[in-house]
Chain A
Amino acid sequence: MNVQVEHHDGVLVAKVEGRVDSSNSQDFERQLQGAIGEEVKAVIMDLGQLAYISSAGLRVVLLVAKTLGQRNVSISLCALSDPVQSVFEISGFNRIIQIYDTQADALAAAG
């Protein structure tokens, strides 16, 4: 698992790669919390290279969404593979967090 951070006009894009499960979810949480510590107007998590996410990983996404919500910073996800999309649909988290097909769509909505 690896998180890479890019900035696009005050919008933070976090690209997540690999697998997130209970063995590395704490590391995932640390990396994301570190990245969103700074002033940003919106956060986009690009999950295009995410192969698998377990419920422990979902908890981190939820925690980050709640933290940002308290700061009135919007968060969205984009480019989910079919298996990852299905995890978000079954858990119902697609009802809490906006999901876009592509990073460009997410950036357009955030801008």
Chain B
Amino acid sequence: MGDRDNPDYRILVVDDEPDLERLVRQRMRRHIRRGKYGFEFAGNGVEALEVLAENQDIDIVLSDINMPKMDGLTLLQQIPEVNSDLRSVIVSAYGDMENIRTAMNRGAFDFVTKPIDFTDLEVTIERTLKHLDEWRAALASRDKLVAIQNELDVATKIQQSILPDTFPHVDGCEVYGCMQAARNVGGDFFDVIRLEGGRIGLTVADVSDKGVPAALFMMSSRTLLKGAAVGVGEPSAVLGEVNDLLNETNETSMFVTVFYGVYDPASRRLTFSNGGHNPPLVVHSDGSSEELRLTGGIALGALPGFEYGQASVELSPGDLVVFFTDGVTEAINVANEEFGLEAVQALFSESGPPSAREAAETILDAVETFAGEVPQFDDLTCMTLRIADE
């Protein structure tokens, strides 16, 4: 454990807003006192580079975009010259896709939107540090491993580091998600995004390939989806936007199947667009269940300019929505039989839906039991939305 003078992690905050330093020191005071985070401050990109040159142990740069002398996007380009072992998080205006996209192309790891929500910022910092730790551990062990295995290891770690492990508390519903990675594949991810007006964005996705290039494609997809979710709004428009961005630079024909839905607790309505992903399952309180309809979509990255459709469904108290990847239904047992959708439905047909967390864990446990000795050949992802009982 660190202490105040020698913190575990050091974060450089770059912003021309003088009040921010006071605010950060105030809101992060517990972490500062416990020696978890130490903060440095700079008023623009030029000052930031000076601080970085003097302090080689900075772990995260949290930077605004518009600043005098040198802006945040230029700073991103310069950072690798002084320190290549840190991660950058950009602070952008709500829905500013253009800058978020540029920042990402220049190596930003993540972004938060203004006005800064400190709970969200803490989650983002934690996730970034987790990613950094795993990345460093992977680099440190590189020489000990056979090249290919190491590459897959790195891919798995990139994948693990972008998954949420805390879920927002929303009145009237509960969200949970978990993933069990296959040994040699890194393709699934899920995300829970807080949106305006108490709504939540729910993403589950599956990238078509494995290894480091696929993991990087996955990171781009996830960040673009998050950016479009807060900026663009309507699920069909979100998928359209991300599809076009992914098609801009996609030499390898990689694609990602994405289900994106926005749940509004006030109306209990789930509005969704399906980009080539297997449809989620809605389980009702009486144990009956059905798949959400397809919306005429196609996997993202495959066909530029495609216009996605969307649909919506009003959920009832006690309903459970199960978002998953095909690793769940296509898991096979020793007799070479598939687990299948019916087996998922059967888990809840007698007793109806349990809590979000219990439902997700029940499904993954059932797949594991079914597969028995057969090695898992695809990632298993399960995210659940449980509407509160009346």
Contacts and interface: CB of A to CB of B under 8 A. Distances in A.
Interface string A65-97: 010000000000000000000000111110110
A5 B257 CA distance: 30
Given A59-B254, A63-B253, A90-B278, A21 B378 contact: yes
Contact of A54 (B253, B255, B297, B330): B330
Given A21-B377, A22-B184, A22-B185, A55 B278 contact: no
At the interface, is chain A mostly helix, strand, loop or mixed? helix
A104 interface: no
A91 B253 CA distance: 14
B276 A90 contact: yes
A92 to B, nearest CB: 3
A23 B257 CA distance: 19
A56 interface: yes
B298 A59 contact: no
B208 A58 contact: yes
A59 B208 contact: yes
Given A22-B210, A54-B330, A59-B209, A92 B276 contact: yes
A21 B210 CA distance: 11
A91 B298 contact: yes
Give the interface size class of chain B.
20 to 34
A56 B257 CA distance: 12
A91 B378 contact: no
B298 A55 contact: no
Most B CB contacts (10 A, CB to CB) among A52, A62, A92, A93 go to A92
Given A22-B377, A59-B255, A66-B253, A92 B298 contact: yes
Interface residues of A, number: 20
Contact of B302 (A22, A52, A90, A96): A96
B346 to A, nearest CB: 19
B216 to A, nearest CB: 15
A55 B377 contact: no
Contact of B209 (A22, A89, A92, A95): A22
A102 B288 CA distance: 37
A52 B330 CA distance: 9
Contacts of A90: 257, 276-279, 294
A94 to B, nearest CB: 9
B253 A59 contact: yes
Contact of A95 (B208, B252, B298, B378): B298
A38 B276 CA distance: 32
B240 interface: no
A56 B209 contact: yes
Given A21-B377, A54-B330, A91 B303 contact: no
Given A62-B255, A91-B276, 12 more contacts: A21-B377, A22-B378, A23-B377, A55-B187, A55-B257, A56-B208, A58-B299, A90-B276, A90-B278, A92-B296, A92-B297, A96-B303
Interface of B: 184-185, 187, 206-210, 252-255, 257, 275-279, 294, 296-299, 302-303, 326, 330, 377-378
Q: Lowest 8 A-B CB distances belong to which pairs?
A: A92-B298, A63-B253, A59-B208, A91-B276, A55-B208, A92-B276, A62-B253, A91-B299
